[in-house]
């Protein structure tokens, strides 16, 4: 385990507090409230999304590969979502059968996974046909000038917070076979300019014709 992750885990919640207060929390709330059925969250960190899962969620599995984050996640799961299952796993190697989930949630994770293509392929594998990926990610800017700065400063971002600020994540989601059915653009509140471009929305896997979309029924709560 790297010392870097130990330090990041200690300061993660306090470091994010201003961004959460300035609007990130509301973005999380609106996104995660759309989860329903059997739900997987990847890279759950300290558990910032846990309180926003609603009664339409039948089961919740949260994964996180870094032990210092995982310890905090386990504590927050006990307090906020005691019926959720916590597993240590990277998004590139998800320990689930094919077609296990209706919805996957990724917030501020696809910027930092080692192999984004592989992580998205894994999400497509464990989601059922027609399954949805709810995403909130900071990404490469559409503005060429800012994108240039993101390229130049990517090493710094990687060194400071273990993720990349110049990834074309929406393109990657589409390349993995998802259709981005809802995409909104926003600004990462209180973040430095090269980390500000933010996308959030819903991407859906193709669905065999004539079958109802998974994860749409109202069922028991995990809370
Ligand atoms: C910026 S934090 C976001 C945490 C949380 N999702 C949130 O929204 O607050 C990035 C998280 O991704 C996790 N992570 C890093 N590499 C990963 C990987 N290969 N697969 C899944 N998660 C990963 C980190 O351990 C960390 O918890």
* Structure confidence by residue, pLDDT tens digits, 67-97: 999 999 999 999 999 999 999 999 999 999 9
Where residue 134 falls (left for φ over 0; alpha for ψ -120 to 50; beta otherwise) is: beta
Q: Which two tokens stand for residue 202?
A: 């819903």
The DSSP call for residue 204 is E
The answer to whether residues 211 and 129 touch, using CB atoms and an 8 Å cutoff, is yes
What's the Cα-to-Cα distance from 197 to each of 19, 66, 130, 146, rounded to whole Å? 14, 26, 28, 9
What is the pLDDT at residue 102? 98
Residue 13 region by backbone torsions, left for phi larger than 0, else alpha for psi between -120 and 50, else beta = alpha
Arch. (CATH architecture) of 3-204: 3-Layer(aba) Sandwich (3.40)
Q: Is the CB of 42 under 6 A from ligand 1?
A: yes
Ligand 1 atom closest to residue 45's alpha carbon, by position in its atom list:
27
What is the overall mean pLDDT for the chain? 94
Choice between 217 and 145, residue whose per-residue pLDDT is larger: 145
Q: Is the distance from CB of 46 to CB of 69 less than 8 angstroms?
A: yes
Q: What does the alpha-carbon distance between residue 214 and residue 216 come to, in Å, rounded to a whole number?
A: 6
Mutate which of 17, 43, 76 for ligand 1 pocket (most atoms within 8 A of beta carbon): 43
Q: Is 121 helix (H, G, I), strand (E, B) or coil?
A: helix
Provide the pairing of β-strand 37-41 with 57-63.
parallel
For residue 219, the model assigns a pLDDT of: 42
Atom nearest to 106 CA in ligand 1: 6
pTM of the predicted structure, to 2 decimals = 0.94
Helix/strand/coil for 84: coil
Is residue 92 lining ligand 1, measured as CB closer than 6 Å? yes
Q: Is any atom of ligand 1 closer than 6 Å to the C-beta of 90?
A: yes
Is 66 near ligand 1, meaning CB less than 6 Å away? yes
Grade residue 153 by pLDDT with cuts at 50, 70 and 90. Answer: very high
């Amino acid at each position: 385990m790297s010392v870097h992750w130990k330090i990041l885990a200690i300061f993660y919640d306090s470091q994010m507090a201003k961004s959460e207060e300035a609007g990130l929390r509301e973005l999380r709330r609106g996104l995660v409230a759309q989860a329903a059925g059997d739900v997987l969250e990847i890279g759950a960190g300290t558990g910032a999304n846990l309180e926003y899962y609603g009664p339409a969620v039948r089961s919740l599995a949260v994964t996180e590969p870094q032990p210092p984050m995982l310890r905090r996640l386990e504590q927050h799961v006990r307090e906020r979502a005691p019926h959720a299952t916590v597993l240590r796993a990277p998004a590139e190697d998800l320990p689930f059968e094919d077609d296990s989930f209706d919805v996957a949630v990724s917030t501020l994770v696809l910027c930092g996974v080692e192999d984004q293509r592989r992580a998205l392929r894994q999400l497509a594998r464990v989601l059922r046909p027609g399954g949805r990926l709810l995403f909130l990610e900071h990404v490469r800017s559409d503005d060429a000038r800012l994108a240039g700065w993101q390229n130049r400063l990517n090493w710094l971002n990687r060194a400071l917070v273990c993720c990349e600020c110049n990834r074309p994540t929406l393109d990657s989601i589409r390349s993995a076979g998802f259709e981005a059915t809802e995409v909104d653009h926003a600004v990462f509140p209180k973040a430095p300019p090269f980390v500000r471009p933010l996308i959030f929305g819903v991407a859906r896997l193709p669905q065999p014709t004539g079958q109802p979309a998974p994860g749409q029924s109202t069922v028991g709560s995990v809370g």
